[in-house]
Structure 1
Amino acid sequence: MIKKIDLQNSNLAEELLALQKASYLVEAKLINFFEIPPLLENIDELRECEESFLGYFEGGELSGAISFTIDGDKLTICRLVVHPDHFRKGIAQRLLTEVEDSNRGLTVYKVSTGKENPPAKLLYLKNGYKLINDIEVVPGLYISNFEKRKVEE
């Protein structure tokens, strides 16, 4: 089940923090960079991030989450995390689909991931996102930026 995460709920916020640390640790190993901001974030920083969060709950347990911001007609996915115990179950796909379906009126969707993160890149490509560019954000670390534009029907 997918539902909104209220970061003011202490238990949920703590669960989300633990989930994102477990998930981003896997990405950190893939891209060989361990200073990914959400990996170092504390509970107060998480609560102050001004992103909207949806969680994927399996058996009452938070097993995946997505966060996003909206600016005009543009939605930016900020985080998409799945607990390593729940990889390869389609959770990331369900969360991505939910965010897009819930925000059909928007025309541009953006997301970034580590250039050396093939699973994330494949997810975005198979969902119609196009690689815009790769940017070196710190020496030796490249981020791949993706965008999906809805065409008027």
Structure 2
Amino acid sequence: MIKEIDITDPKFAEEVLDVQIPSYKVEAELIDFYDIPPLRDTVITLQRCGETFYGCYVDGELGGVISIKVEEELIDIHRLMVYPKHFRKGIAGRLLDFVESYGEGDETLIVSTGSKNAPAVHFYEKSGFVKIGEMTVMEGLSITSFEKKRK
């Protein structure tokens, strides 16, 4: 079941962090860069981020989370994370499908991930996203951006 998460509630923000930290630790290992911003988040920074969060629950447990910001005809996916014990169960795909059904249907979706995160890069390409750029953020860290137009 996918439902919106009230990130302003500290209890729910803590649940999101309980998924986010282990999920992004896996990404940090994949890209060999351990100072990624999601690993520094706190309940307060999540509550102030301005993103809308949706969670996928598996047997009553939060198994994955997606967060977005919507501006006019753009859906910006800020986070897509799955708790490691729930990897390869289709949760990321379900969350992405949920967000793709969001809005009026003509928005463009955008997302970025670590360029060395091969599973995420493959996931977005398989999901119909097109690579639109790659940027070196600092030595040892590059980010690949993708978009998908809905019409």
Show CA shifts across 1:4-62 (max 9, x none): 00012222111101110010000000001111111111110010000000000011111
* Contact in 1 for aligned 2:33/2:140 (Cα 8 Å): no
Find the counterpart in structure 2 of residue 98 from structure 1: 98
Deviation at 1:141, TM superposition (A): 0.7
Find the counterpart in structure 2 of residue 140 from structure 1: 140
TM-score, length-scaled by structure 1 = 0.95
TM-score, length-scaled by structure 2 = 0.96
Identity between Structure 1 and Structure 2 (%): 46
Structure 2: gaps (5+ residues): none
Distance 1:39 1:106 in 2: 33
Residue 123 of structure 1 aligns to a residue whose secondary structure is helix
Letter in 2 for 1:94: R
Structure 1: gaps (5+ residues): none
Aligned residues: 151
Letter in 2 for 1:133: G
Distance 1:67 1:22 in 2: 17
Q: Are residue 55 (structure 1) and residue 59 (structure 2) matched?
A: no
Distance 2:114 2:58 in 1: 27
* Contact in 2 for aligned 1:13/1:43 (Cα 8 Å): yes
Letter in 1 for 2:69: T
Distance 2:89 2:50 in 1: 28
Deviation at 1:118, TM superposition (A): 1.1
Distance 1:71 1:58 in 2: 30
Distance 2:128 2:43 in 1: 33
Deviation at 1:104, TM superposition (A): 4.1
